[in-house]
A and B are shown apart, each in its own frame.
Chain A
């Protein structure tokens, strides 16, 4: 059973997605439980995978029984099993959450929405699980296509944002495909493990260099790494709230995973760090990203826009951890993939719940929100503290390792950037918290009532609240147990070449 999980984790959501139009045509209400059930199976599979890896070590799954490098292989190790768990868990949470928000925002489009939702998840899981560079491209396109469509049905301005995303995303995907082509020309192989064996003999080759450049740029576009993030703020902030909550945390994290995979598994750190100055460039780009994202976020009054720009900075964190290219920095980067996925998901879920209940996302109109939605705001506060790097929330710990990594690499400026960024985050979030908790009453909410209108508690519906609370609790627990996570998973997930 355990060895079938890698196939199940892709096939189940894929096949299930094919059935949704039928189910939706029969009974629309069934789509939601179906998706949740499927994602539960996926989540269990991912747990099965990581459990197998922790007990018996890494393994691979040959699709159709063909031996690599001729057939396609799913290579499971600590790194992608770890990311699989993140992706499947967060998508499960967002799926649970999506019920009311889909009913509210897309009442007529339930069935196709959930079909694409599931396809998107399947695509992301496929990217993570596969051990074949071309297969990765196919899954990348599945997730991208569903992403384009899901974004396009968002609010005003979404189609144009989505179109820009199509253009940039296609450039990114095509660059990736070119990279694959160049590697194929130079080596004749498409299998990651096989490539990792062949490549070290040809590091002097210009073809390899060009392939590496195309890979890097392609992944940077997909992962919204500064300065190729330009498509991202509009696209993510105009998407329907359930969609932003899914793609904002996951798309960027999966791209970060692909980046780590390419730079440190397919290529050796020896090449990525020494032969080409790409690490230095990436490091400084993320340095700029952290500040640019933070400053742009300061200029926003729309909560969701603010989060999107924070995401630019957060991606910068991960890339910075990758760019210092030492064990502890990479530990921080991988830990931050987990932590940031949780934090971003929680924040976007909260924002979705707020706009569902209050109907606004303007940070100056959130007065008394702690009285209206105490649990939601509690979760928001926990996440905000985590973003500002306050222990014991998880954000502190990834920052700690990232800072250790930058210090070890002797990059003082990067360490300073990380610290400044948490201060910027603190300013950003305390603006909101101050407004929601401490500003004297103003008739922003239900302003048709009298001046002494007593604020009624009006918490988000349970299907929204439960995922939010789980994520917030997760943020604290991840912080407290970060030591265990690192010692049992992440230290093995860091590529062995360090």
Chain B
């Protein structure tokens, strides 16, 4: 198992390092990530959502559905724990 784990880790690492070559440089303001979608968030957030915090604006408004999903994930985890850990009422748990 350890060998397999090692191989998997090394292969993943190799893949990651292979991709690094063409990655944009650290903090490049013209990288696609910072220039395609995000400028509009920065510019329009205050006007469209009246929220100075752009992260909040995107989180709760532009991508509000993700946040609903996020809440649901927490709810799911909570219910999952209830389902798994609650012991039977009658007769001692095992």
Contact = CB atoms under 8 A, between A and B. Distances in A.
Contact of B33 (A17, A122, A150, A184): A184
A138 interface: yes
Contacts of A185: 23-24, 31-33
Contact of A116 (B15, B70, B76): B76
A18 interface: yes
Nearest to A162: B84
B56 interface: no
Given A112-B79, A139-B69, A70 B16 contact: no
Interface of B: 15-16, 18-19, 21-24, 31-38, 40-41, 61-66, 68-70, 72-73, 75-77, 79-84, 86, 88-89
Interface of A is mostly: helix
Interface in A104-155: 108-109, 112-113, 115-116, 119, 122, 126, 134-135, 138-139, 141-142, 145-146, 148-150, 152-153
Contacts of B24: 185
A209 interface: yes
Nearest to B24: A185
A142 B76 CA distance: 7
Interface string A171-183: 0000000000010
How large, as a class, is the contact surface on chain A?
Answer: 35 or more
Contacts of A370: none
Interface in A230-246: none
A185 B24 CA distance: 8
A142 B34 contact: no
Interface of A: 14, 17-18, 21, 63-64, 66, 69-72, 108-109, 112-113, 115-116, 119, 122, 126, 134-135, 138-139, 141-142, 145-146, 148-150, 152-153, 182, 184-190, 198, 205-207, 209-211, 213-214
The 10 closest A-B pairs by CB, nearest first: A188-B36, A149-B80, A210-B19, A138-B69, A112-B83, A188-B32, A63-B65, A145-B76, A72-B65, A206-B22
Given A18-B75, A145-B77, 17 more contacts: A66-B61, A72-B66, A119-B72, A135-B63, A135-B65, A141-B73, A142-B73, A149-B79, A149-B80, A149-B81, A150-B83, A153-B84, A186-B32, A188-B37, A205-B22, A210-B19, A213-B15
A209 B81 CA distance: 39
A70 B40 contact: yes
